[in-house]
Structure 1
Amino acid sequence: MDKARNTNIDSGQWPPEAAQTPGCGALSLLWNRPVGALSATLVLAHGAGAPMDSPFMDAIAEKLSARGVAVARFEFPYMAARRADDRKRPPNPQKQLLECWREVYAQVRAEVAGPLAIGGKSMGGRMASLLADELGADALVCLGYPFYAAGKDDKPRVAHLAELATPTLIVQGERDALGDRAHVVEYVLSPAIQVHWLTAADHDLKPLKASGLTHEQHLESTAEVVSAFLDELQIAPAQP
């Protein structure tokens, strides 16, 4: 497969004002663009504890772009602030996270043509799932979806998933501590949602050594499943 380009707006150089007003938008967009034909664009948000250029996010973006999917990454305000001063912070309130998603989606939608999907790792994917229908995204892709908080499997956060209309792919580890297979198969999910299970994998899609599988294999499998899902979307042509 063709090697994809990894380009960050301003080459990763954060202007002085970024320290005072960190947020979404152009300053935090990180693109992985296919060298060859483009099949779709995916805006991918990070999880609660790791930035947009974590090893997991880098690997997924690179593997998807090698398969024809352009990936745009961004950081929520609290993570952008951490990049500026290296101080850890908790995630912003949900309202602010959702507004950030709206701003980034609008920016990317104005810049690209063709199918546009949204999604993310863990929290980033969950926030995207709350907005997918509202934004009119062509698809939703969630990697390691947090169906419940750690240790709170008796309080699932799935009500909105029963009504979701956006075509959705969730790639989930069978032993994910925030949504293992035994619990998730009991939930009532929208027919628009597909769940792809990874054998013996955890929240980061990493399998047990005893499974005979590797993390790299699971990441490759994830990229293949996601790219195939996006390829198969039936996107209605825009009206003149």
Structure 2
Amino acid sequence: MRYALDMSNERQFFDTSGDERVRGFLHEPAVANGDCLILTHGAGADCKALLLVALAECFYLSGWTVLRCDLPFRQERPHGPPPRGSAERDQNGLRAAVASMQRQTPGCIFLGGHSYGGRQASMLAAAKPDLVERLLLLSYPLHPPQRPGELRTAHFPSLQTPALFVQGTKDGFGSIAEIEAALKLISARTELLPVTGAGHELALKKNRAEVAQTIATAFQRFVDYKAA
């Protein structure tokens, strides 16, 4: 069953028709371009994260349908990090969200996430290369802070989906130089958008709208490259 509740320019969205329930907020512009971006959150947040809200607003104003969704682990527990072993189920949750949006919108589906959510999106895309058209990976957690030897790149050589990485220049989970080196493992087209002075959160209250617009503009340009 799929249903939604009106809330300004967004609707609370539920889809229980698949193996994993999809829960989040759907932004549907009055004049849509047919494409859809699915955004999910990091390990300590949910789909109400202010950066995701700001990004959804930017894409919505450009005619995109946007789904901000909670990963399965967050649907099970309102606070705290994902439990050990939840990655596979969280990826299945993202796959269910993609399937739901394929039924909802006629155009291309794009998938993105912040930190843990972006990592799960990239792992899913590496396993399912035809699932989505492009990835938007915000603050990719390349390694735990102060442990640069524990790289989370085992799936990078298998990743065939073009991806835009957005990384703060002060992110303790991966420096710009470290991200640039890691991207060489990916055969698909990639781009890196550095956010000067930003940490892992990417944006603060004072500049959240500006950073979100910069990211949205860069990703739309990255997507438009497919037509060139």
TM-score by length of 2: 0.82
Matched-pair contact (CA < 8 Å) for 2:32–2:65: no
Aligned residue in 2 for 1:204:
201
What is the identity, as a one-letter code, of the residue corresponding to 2:185? L
Partner of 1:222: 215
Is residue 166 from structure 1 mapped to residue 161 from structure 2 by the alignment?
A: yes
Q: 1:42, 1:71 within 8 Å by CA — same for their partners in 2? A: yes
Indicate the residue corresponding to 1:8 in structure 2. Answer: 12
Question: What is the root-mean-square deviation of aligned Cα atoms in Å?
Answer: 2.5
Match for residue 137 of structure 2?
142
Structure with bigger strand share is 2
Unpaired runs of at least 5, structure 2: 1-7
Q: Distance in 2 between matches of 1:118 and 1:91?
A: 20
Q: Is the 8 A contact 1:40 1:231 kept in 2?
A: no
Query: Using a 3 Å threshold, how does the CA distance of structure 1 residues 197 and 89 change in structure 2: closer, same or farther?
Result: closer
1:97-117 residue CA offsets vs partner (Å, 9 max, x unmatched):
122222222222222211111
**2:173 is the alignment partner of 1:194:** no
**Is contact 2:169–2:199 with CA below 8 Å preserved after alignment?**
yes
Amino acid at match of 1:104: A
Paired position in structure 2 for 1:105: 98
Residue type at the aligned position of 1:8? Q
What are the equivalent positions in structure 2 for 1:68-107 lying under 5 Å apart?
Answer: 68-83=63-78, 88-92=79-83, 93-107=86-100
Highest Rg: 1 or 2?
1
Match of 2:30 in 1: 35
Give the distance between the partners of 1:227 and 1:5, measured in 2 at CA: 21
Relative to the length of structure 1, the TM-score reads 0.78
SS in 1 for 2:100: helix
SS at match of 2:144: coil
What pairs up with 1:32-71 in 2 under 5 angstroms?
Answer: 32-38=27-33, 40-71=35-66
CA contact (8 A) 2:162 2:189 kept: yes
Q: Is the 8 A contact 2:51 2:203 kept in 1?
A: no
Worse overlay, 55-64 or 151-160? 151-160
Q: Name the CA distance, whole Å, in 2 between partners of 1:172 and 1:147.
A: 10
Q: Which ranges of structure 1 fall in alignment gaps of 5 or more residues?
A: 11-17, 208-212, 236-240
Where 2:77 maps in the other structure, the secondary structure is: helix
Q: Distance in 1 between matches of 2:159 and 2:112?
A: 14
Q: Could you tell me which residue of structure 2 aligns to residue 25 of structure 1?
A: 21
Distance change in 2, residues 1:233/1:24 (3 Å): farther
Partner SS for 1:170: strand
Identity %: 27
